[in-house]
Structure 1
């Protein structure tokens, strides 16, 4: 339990740091408030920002790796950290900037390997699912957690479909255009696949 508490504390703290950086970036690039289309930044600043995002993920992975033993426990810890981090990132932005005004407001989510965009509620839904995955893995205390090939394929497909939903507007956004429509059906499909696997594995606990 102590391990879980400190993982959550780390995620909330790191979310504060990330949100603080975004506050500074928006002061520089979007003094009147963030909105699409994206404003031009120099290649050097773009590289620095992509590097910041890359090493943020490395940091999350490192904490998950050091906090747990075994592939699945580490994966679960990463899911917990990422999920809590992402949710509290928006909580801190709401406190700092009173943004977003709505969970349906669009945001630039990530830049690797292309711009990720979508309504704020979309990554929050995914983050809640990641936390569920962590809980599921933690429940397997007396049994080794493993996925059948079928469940593994469904999980990979689920994450891939969700990824596609986030980069759906990558090309127009990179061109300096406003994203027009988020493919909710892709998010729903990806979530259904992941939730199906979660429920299937959870049922196995009671057999």
Structure 2
């Protein structure tokens, strides 16, 4: 009987020492902490943190590919949507310098300059719109800017004509239901003048 209990005692002793060593190593606490962290809901970034993260990513991509006009245009768009018109202007100008004449970029630059000038069509805005429309007579952003400005200044007939021109262009960039709604609103306001 004694000869059989020694191997069993030895196995229990080895298992006990292994378990003791594992607990003493601190690994169980680490595993439990990791499991606890994984069970917590992920805290979403605040809008400001998300915007800063997007900006950092774009800047890093531009550092890696400084000749990529698409990245410069994306950076300009980021700045535009964050009302940073001066930096948006610089980034769009850089994109144009890299890509060359491009209707969408001229329109985007015109939009930046328009908002930078307090929603006024300045000679610089006009020049960029003219360049865009010379390259593409139905450039959506250029025509939308002209229509929005006409609407803002109660030139409803002009706005209606520009929006109708956009609808007729069949461009996939046009939000047709939204344009139809804008046309109907302008028609209503035109009748009230």
Q: Using structure 2 for the length normalisation, give the TM-score.
A: 0.31
Q: Using structure 1 for the length normalisation, give the TM-score.
A: 0.30
Question: Taking CA–CA contacts closer than 8 Å with sequence separation of 6 or more, which of the two structures ends up with the larger relative contact order?
Answer: 1
Structure with a larger share of its residues in helix: 2
Larger Rg: 2
